[in-house]
Every structure is written in structure tokens, then in C-alpha cells.
Structure 1
Amino acid sequence: MPTARDRSQGADRVATVQHATLRWLREQIATGAFEAGAKLRQEVLAREFGVSVPPVREALQTLEAEGQVVYAPRRGYFVATLSAAELTEAYRIRDLLESEAIARAVPLLDPTDIERMRAAITDMAAAHEREDLGALTEANRRFHFTLFDAAGMPRMAELIRVLWESTDRYRSRYFADERHRDRVDAEHQTIMDAVAAGRAGEAVQLLREHREHALEALRAALPDDGTGG
């Protein structure tokens, strides 16, 4: 008969598999391996990643809640497609949340936070040189979320995370252009200067401009549903 310890270890293994499956699917979508509108067959995904179907199903349900995939009854799961207007809306909501988080975070940053942000900039530069978009995206996320998490408002940070997850594949598209990578590097350096000096208002404005530059470039590459925004 399984002991409490056995049951606990079994639960930990299940959780680890589910987490790894979710992370893998997120990466596949973010890097464009699964294009917008592509059907996601659970059995095929399970075979590709070497897991059973249940953790794939759990991961797809999580991604559906985040807006990264959509479920159609009797048809299955598909990678979500965003229009320019929908992407604009996501960025507008991000502006509201991130501006509040940044204003609160800057006065609270400690030397470890500052060093983590500087290290992220260095890692992004290295990833840029070797054209590793996966590593670039991860370092970019680390730069920004070090700031968001420092605000001490975990629920707000989680809402921001959900918005980031839903638009990750578009962010990867932005980073695919070397000119955009150069711009991001320059903007991050300027943001870093303001943050390190404790200039919260300036940091909020610089990050707003940073988002707008990305949004402007991405909207040109997305279908417009005619609603504007």
C-alpha cells in the first residue's frame, strides 16, 4: 500500500511533468514552431515531447486560459490568432499595469535587483550576437520582470505575465529583425540608467515609449479587423 511519502513523491513527479510540458508548449508557440491558427493535436504533441496525453491536455487548458490557444468543440485546440486591434488592446492594458508596477518598484529596488537587470542586458547582447531568439526572449523577460516583481504586488505581476504570455510569439517576431534588436538594446540601456538612478517617472515614460515602438512595428505585420485602436 503506498505510503504518504510515496503519494507525495508521485504528486511531485506529475507536477514536474506538467510544468515541463507547459513550458515546452509555450516555447513552441513563442518561437513560431506552431504558427497562428495551427491545430494542436494532443496525441501528436504527447508523442513529440515524450509524455502521456493528460499533461498535454492540462497544458493546453492553461494556455487557453491565458489566451494563447483557443478550443473549438468537436474540433480541438488551435493556436490563437491576434488581430492588430487585439494586440493593441493587450498593450494598452499592459501600459496601465506596468506603469503602476514600475512607479512602485523603482524606489524599492535593491543592489541585487539592479545587478540582475544589468546581467539580463548582457545576456541579451550575447544572444543577439549568436541570433538565439529563445535566449534573447528569456533574458528580455528577466529584465522586465525583475522590475515588475520588485513592486511587491504579486497579483498585478501575474496579470502582466498572462498578457506577456499571450503575445510572446509576436515578441519573437519583433526580435527576429536585427534593427529591432539594436533598438531594444539601446532602449534597455537608457531605462537601466533611469532605474539605477531612482528616477521612477522617467523610467515609466521610457518603458511606455519602449512598448510603443514594439507595438508600432508589430501592428504592421498583423491582420487588421477594421476596429482600429
Structure 2
Amino acid sequence: MSRPPTTQQFVLAELRRAILARELLPNQPIRQDSVARGLGVSRVPLREALKILEAEGQVVYRPHRGYTVAELSLPDLLEVYRLRELLESEAVTLAVDHYGAAELERVEREHRAVVDAAERDDLVEMIAANRRFHFALLEPAGMPRFMRVIRTLWDATDAYRAVYYNSADNRSRVLDEHEAIVRAAREYDGAELVRLLRAHRQHAVESLRETVDTGDSSGWSSGGSSGAVPRAES
């Protein structure tokens, strides 16, 4: 994987990956010295990256205790997904009128990437490819301000997405739902895309509702309790 252009972006990407991979768990302290040492950076870009994650709601800062990974919250999940429904429904309705051969090829390419990652049991890459797939559907709307807000909402729920993708049944359902979404995109059917994407989000919320509400994250393995990010690829 190529290293992002700035040290801060590199650190931010690695922290996001660690949250997705469950190397950093909800309520787990983030030991800044250990993380900085593991990534081979100073604490300055690390602090800046943590401030970005704090603004997104992915980490929490408490005086005298430092940063911890945010605890999963059902009200937070429901609010973010409601906002996504409102914004993404509007975006995809506009985007479908701008689909051409290149846009549809991008959608199909990212769908294949999701399938390939699922076949390799590479959950982190599957989640990343899933994100690219969804934005390939939305970005042709040509509304950069909309996209910035939607990206922030996606960033805020990465930890929830990691829990959802831990289930083999959920991963299989994602692939089936994506197939239907691709067909609707090929047919330029905006109303069907809105319906399918709404059902896609609702299935995720329904699956996560009990897990998040009870705080049950069983089945996950931690990368350790030190708060370090053990792997940094350049």
C-alpha cells in the first residue's frame, strides 16, 4: 500500500485501519507514545490525527486520561444512518442521470473488489472496497459539499461497520444486495436505487441493533491491550 502524501494522513489512515481491524477496541485507551513509536512518527501528527477522529466521534478525549476509542452507541448509530438516508437518497437520485460508461464501470469494478476481498476473508479490504462502491454510486451527482458531509458520516461509523462485517451471514447478504444495486444502476432506475440502498442500510441497522444495544462485541479478537497500533505499512 502506498503511503499517503503527508505524515498526518498516514497516521490517520493507520488509526482508521486499526479501528476497523479491531486492533483498537471501544473504550480502549490509545497510548500515544506506543502508537507513535510503532508508526515511526512523532506525537505531533498523531495528536492532529486524533483531533480529527475526535471531531468525527470515533475517539473520545478525557482530561487526565487521554484518548480512548469511542464506545458503540445505538442512538448514535440510528442518528447517523438517518442522516445518511436523507442525504444519500437525494445524491443517488441526482447521480443516476449522470451515469455513463465510465461511471458504471467504476461501480462494477468496486463491486468486484468487494467480492474479491470477501473471497479472501480480508475484512478490512472488503470494508474499504464497500466504501468505494457506495461513493462510486453517489459521486456522479456532482455535489462536493454533499459528499464531504456523507464522508464524515461514514467515517463516524467505521467501528459499527467492522462489527457488522464480522458476521459471515452479513457479508453474504452485502454481496447479494450489491448485485441488485449494480443491476439497478445499469438500468438507470433511480427510484429502485433509493429503495435498495434504504433496505441495505436498514439491514445493517437491524443486525447491529441488538449487538450495539447490549454492548456485545463477542467474536472479536483484540490486537492487544496496550493501545498500540502494531502494524504500519508504507
Same fold (TM over 0.5): yes
SS of the residue corresponding to residue 144 of structure 1 reads helix
> What residue in structure 1 maps to residue 12 of structure 2?
22
Write the deviation string for residues 161-189 of structure 1: whole angstroms up to 9, x where unpaired: 11111111211221121111111111111
> What residue in structure 2 maps to residue 188 of structure 1?
178
* Alignment map for 1:212-223 (pairs within 5 Å): 212-223=202-213
> What residue in structure 1 maps to residue 36 of structure 2?
46
2:126 maps to 1:158: no
Which residue type is aligned with residue 104 of structure 1? L
* Alignment map for 1:77-226 (pairs within 5 Å): 77-223=67-213
TM-score (norm 2): 0.87
SS of the residue corresponding to residue 36 of structure 1 reads coil
Q: Is the 8 A contact 1:83 1:224 kept in 2?
A: no
SS of the residue corresponding to residue 70 of structure 1 reads strand
Distance 1:15 1:42 in 2: 22
> What residue in structure 1 maps to residue 57 of structure 2?
67
Pairwise CA RMSD of aligned residues?
Answer: 1.7
Q: Post-superposition shift, 1:73? A: 1.6
Which residue type is aligned with residue 94 of structure 1? R
Alignment length, in residue pairs? Answer: 213
Q: Post-superposition shift, 1:224? A: 5.8
> Quick one: structure 1 residues 14 and 114, their matched pair in 2 at CA, closer, same or farther if it must change by over 3 Å?
closer
Distance 2:21 2:153 in 1: 17
Point out 4+ residue stretches in structure 1 off by more than 6 angstroms.
none
Where in structure 1 are there 5+ consecutive unaligned residues? 1-12
Q: Post-superposition shift, 1:110? A: 2.0
Larger Rg belongs to:
1
SS of the residue corresponding to residue 213 of structure 2 reads coil
SS of the residue corresponding to residue 82 of structure 1 reads coil
Q: Post-superposition shift, 1:138? A: 1.1
Distance 1:88 1:217 in 2: 12
Q: Is the 8 A contact 2:72 2:160 kept in 1?
A: no
